[in-house]
Structure 1
Amino acid sequence: MKLATLRRRTYGLPGISGVARLDRRTTRLAGRLNPGDIAIIDHVDLDRVAAGALVAAKPAAVVNAQPSISGRYPNLGPDLIVASGIPLLDNVGSEIFAAVKEGTRIRLDGDLVYVGEAPVAKGTAQDTQTVAALMSEAKSGLSAQLEAFAVNTSEYMSRERELLLDGVGVPDVRTKFAGRHVLVVVRGYDHAADLKALKHYIREFKPILVGVDGGADALLEAGHKPHMIVGDMDAVSDAAFATGAEVVVHAYPDGRAPGLARVQDLGIDAVTFPTSGTSEDVAILLADEKGADLIVAVGTHATLTEFLDKGRSGMASTFLTRLRVGGKLVDAKGVTRLYRSRISSAALLLLVIAALLAVVAALAVSDSGRTYLNNFDSTWNDFVNWIQDLFS
């Protein structure tokens, strides 16, 4: 039975009912959503990473105070929401954050949001057809977006040229990267599938595991323990901090680090890395500057579509960071396509069988070996007879 139908029967009113959860930071909200809640966000041009986090939480509906597709460029988040069967009510206005309190039961019916029987907000209900139409219109804005991206890249290069060219500002850390493989995990594009595909690589090469904000919890969910946690610290669970991983807090260029207070309250020593780039850039630059042989990126941005989908000037730093690191940086999907375990399961099984046959042959041709085999045969027969006596 569909959730919407169940709610109509339960509460006797049309539409979809649920407990409201509100946050202007979408990824932070996704971390505390329960299945069946109604997510209220404030996110212009909803990107695929944020939408994926919402979908994973299984809300009854998503209400956006802003346009989920503004028309600047074809962002990928709204299509993921509606394709997952989750109703999306768009552009209801920021006033909803004052009209609806956290934990209040609300109801969506058509393009209206109700608290009790009183309408408190009105928006535009989106579906696959309307999202497709908006995406088609937004493609016309790509050229302007590319020009803006180029300008942002030039500005970032001017601000951070010493960091990018000479590594000035990279802090000292306890973790030893020199000569090692490093796996940088962001809770982003296909991160769970990529981590699963990399399990043999991780077992064989034992890379240093770096979780970027929620990527630390992604590592835990995949059965791995992070060696280092990098980021703003707003999407890292206490369980991830409890692993004992070294913590590097991403700070603003002026030194302010809002996430540092939380880390210090937990009694954890941390270092700060001031830069105007993104947290994933911090992790990659740190690994590169400290001498990593290879950096494998999971869940990060790799294609032009993904760069534009994020829709912010910070993506300029990611582009330049990838240029700086060069061939040392490999996307996880490339590793899974090229990597094969050095010893296949079939070869290992054949090796074990051959070793056993060699041992048996050696025992069979020697006097002491035949004595051992006769004793083993006698012991085995006694054991089989004892088992048969138990069930007779």
Structure 2
Amino acid sequence: MWDDRKVSWMFRRRSGSTEPDVLGGPVRIDSRTKNLTKRLSGGDVAIIDHEDLDRVSAEALVACAPAAVLNAAKSTSGRYPNLGPGILLDAGIPLIDDLGSQIMDLREGDRVRIEETGSVYRGGDLIAEGTRQTSALNEANMEAARDGIAVQLSAFAHNTMSYLEREQDLILNSVGIPDVRTRFDGRQVLIVVRGYHYKDDLQSLRAYIRDYRPVLVGVDGGADAMLELGLRPDVIVGDMDSVSDTALNCGAEIIVHAYRDGRAPGVKRVEDLGVPYLVFPMTGTSEDAAMILADSKGANLIVAVGTHSSLIEFLDKGREGMASTFLTRLKVGGRLIDAKGASQLYQSRISTWQLLALVIAGVVAMSAAIASTEVGQTAWGLAQAWFLDLWNWFPRLFG
């Protein structure tokens, strides 16, 4: 059984036996990692089919504390230096790589055992053989992937130009933006995306949210992060594939992100829930849709939590659509502030009444502390006598 989260691989020996005690447990299977993490628990064996495992997916897996992660695909293909495998290894979670499609034929709940060589067994049957990732192997993969980043940069630039040609009316002239009931004009907007450390960043902005009351926009699962902190999103934008029913029913305005041809797989889900919605067809990601919506509706400041800002972060999403994120950030320009910068620069405003209440509370606490001592009780008696003399002096003064 896996016990030590800080060790990359451990095989304890059975009591009274020279045979190694191999790792194992019940499997949870899904080709979409973000769907798998919704039902993955500690001690389960996660089976994924995720080429170039990205950072967000890896962090979600780590949070579930699986016994091991088995990947049907290559966790690093060599296209670019992706961050996911290193995160799993740093967390002490064994990663078996490139097991092939046959590993996906296992049934949910099947129990498997994993040998140190990377072989996976169900009972006595060998199911698949893969490569056990180590820190040294991962570093070698990262070094090789860095050599290929120039090719990815060229493809990224090409995708960016193609996106601009397709969506220039939307980007430049706001053509096709849905009419929403939520008022953005002249207000600050906080957009929360399921990105790197998005929950921590959102927590750091609680004082900002309290004082400025920005429009709260959750992008898919970002809406649930708001609810966890006791905040109700005003708008939810997304494909509706990673947001909970609770969030969709919280009263927020729902905007379903659709493909440019009008197809919107998320529409069926919101219709089944009976929730009113609008459709926003555009090429790109849901976080782009949220930013363009806020910008076109007149927001004077956009604070972003969990969004993408660097080239590696764009490539780490592993899809051409990240070119739209690059152009969206150019369009939004000076109105956009990254959450980390906002949390470091912002200082909570303290009103006069709050300051007065703090002073009164301090005086009361100090008085109580002094009154509990012998000296304090003597001083209190002298103060009472002085006040009584003063009270008696006033009638004589005016008599």
TM-score band, normalised by shorter chain: 0.7 to 0.9
| Counterpart position of 1:181 | 188
- Using a 3 Å threshold, how does the CA distance of structure 1 residues 208 and 126 change in structure 2: closer, same or farther? same
Q: Aligned partners of 1:205 and 1:219: how far apart in 2?
A: 16
Q: Which residue of the partner structure matches residue 108 of structure 1?
A: 114
Match of 1:205 among 201, 212, 215: 212
2:62 paired residue among 50, 55, 59: 55
Offset of residue 257 of structure 1: 0.7
Determine the structure 2 residue equivalent to 1:129.
136
Residue from 140, 152, 157 that aligns with 2:147: 140
In 2, Cα distance between equivalents of 1:267 and 1:8: 55
| Structure 2 counterpart of 1:21, one-letter code | R
Check the 8 A contact 2:249/2:275 in 1, yes or no.
Answer: no
Q: Percent of counterpart pairs with the same letter?
A: 57
Counterpart of 1:389 in structure 2 is: none
Q: CA deviation at 1:9?
A: 6.0
Residue 245 of structure 1 pairs with residue 267 of structure 2: no
Q: Deviations over 1:43-87 (max 9, x none)?
A: 111110111111111111111111101111100111001110000
Q: CA deviation at 1:133?
A: 1.2
Choose from 221, 235, 244 the match for 1:228: 235
Q: Of the candidates 289, 297, 302, which is equivalent to residue 304 of structure 2?
A: 297
CA distance in 1, matches of 2:209, 2:249: 22
Question: Cα RMSD (Å) of the superposition?
Answer: 2.5
Aligned counterpart, 1:364: none
Q: Which residue of 2 aligns with 1:81?
A: 88
Q: Residue 326 of structure 1 corresponds to which residue in structure 2?
A: 333
Q: Which residue of 2 aligns with 1:342?
A: 349
Which of these residues, 71, 93, 115, is aligned with residue 100 of structure 2?
Answer: 93
Deviations 1:117-136 (A, max 9, x none): 21101110002121111111
* Partner residue in 1 for 2:126: 119
Q: Sort the Cα spacing of 1:230 and 1:9 in 2 relative to 1 into closer, same or farther, 3 A.
A: farther
Take 1:69 and 1:49, find their aligned partners in 2: how far apart are those partners? 15
Aligned to 2:73: 66
TM-score by length of 1: 0.86
- Residues 262 and 281, structure 2, Cα contact 8 Å, conserved in 1: yes
Aligned to 2:53: 46
1:151 lines up with 2:158 in the alignment: yes
Structure 2, unaligned runs of 5 or more = 5-9, 364-386, 392-399
> Which protein is bigger by CA-based radius of gyration?
2
Shift, 1:13, TM fit: 7.6
Match of 2:3 in 1: 3
Q: How many angstroms apart in 2 are the aligned matches of 1:296 and 1:263?
A: 27
Q: Provide closer, same or farther for how the CA distance between residues 117 and 245 of structure 1 changes in structure 2, counting only shifts above 3 A.
A: same
Distance 1:256 1:78 in 2: 34
1:145-195, CA deviations, whole angstroms, 9 ceiling, x for partnerless residues? 111110000010011111101111111112111111111111111111101
Cα distance in 2, alignment partners of residues 344 and 131 from structure 1: 53
Query: Given that residues 285 and 325 in structure 1 are in contact (C-alpha distance below 8 angstroms), is that contact kept between their aligned partners in structure 2?
Result: yes
Q: Which residue of the partner structure matches residue 363 of structure 1? A: none
Deviation, structure 1 residue 336: 1.0
In the TM superposition, residue 32 of structure 1 has moved relative to its aligned partner by 1.7
The one of 182, 185, 195 equivalent to 2:202 is 195
Deviation at residue 260 of structure 1 after TM alignment: 0.9
Tell me: CA distance 1:174–1:120, structure 2 relative to 1, closer, same or farther (3 Å): same
Residue 37 of structure 1, CA deviation: 1.1
Q: Deviations over 1:193-215 (max 9, x none)?
A: 10111111111111111111111
Give the direction of change, closer, same or farther, for the CA distance of 1:337–1:116 in structure 2 (3 Å limit): same
Structure 1 residue matching 2:152: 3-state secondary structure: helix
The offset of 1:3, in angstroms, is: 3.1
State the 1:326 CA deviation.
0.6
Q: Tell me the TM-score normalized by structure 2.
A: 0.84
Partner letter of residue 206 of structure 1?
R
Distance 1:218 1:242 in 2: 15
Going from structure 1 to structure 2, the CA distance change for 1:205 and 1:86 (only over 3 Å counts) comes to same
Query: Equivalent residue for 1:366?
Result: none
What is the CA deviation profile of residues 94-136 of structure 1, one whole-angstrom value per residue up to 9, with x for unaligned ones? 12212x0112122211211111121101110002121111111
Distance across 1 between alignment mates of 2:35 and 2:90: 22
AA aligned opposite 1:101: R
Contact 1:92 1:121 in 2 (8 A): yes
Q: 2:359 aligns with which of 338, 347, 353?
A: 353
Aligned to 1:390: none
**Compared CA separation, residues 104 and 350, structure 1 to 2 (3 A):** same
CA distance in 1, matches of 2:357, 2:285: 48
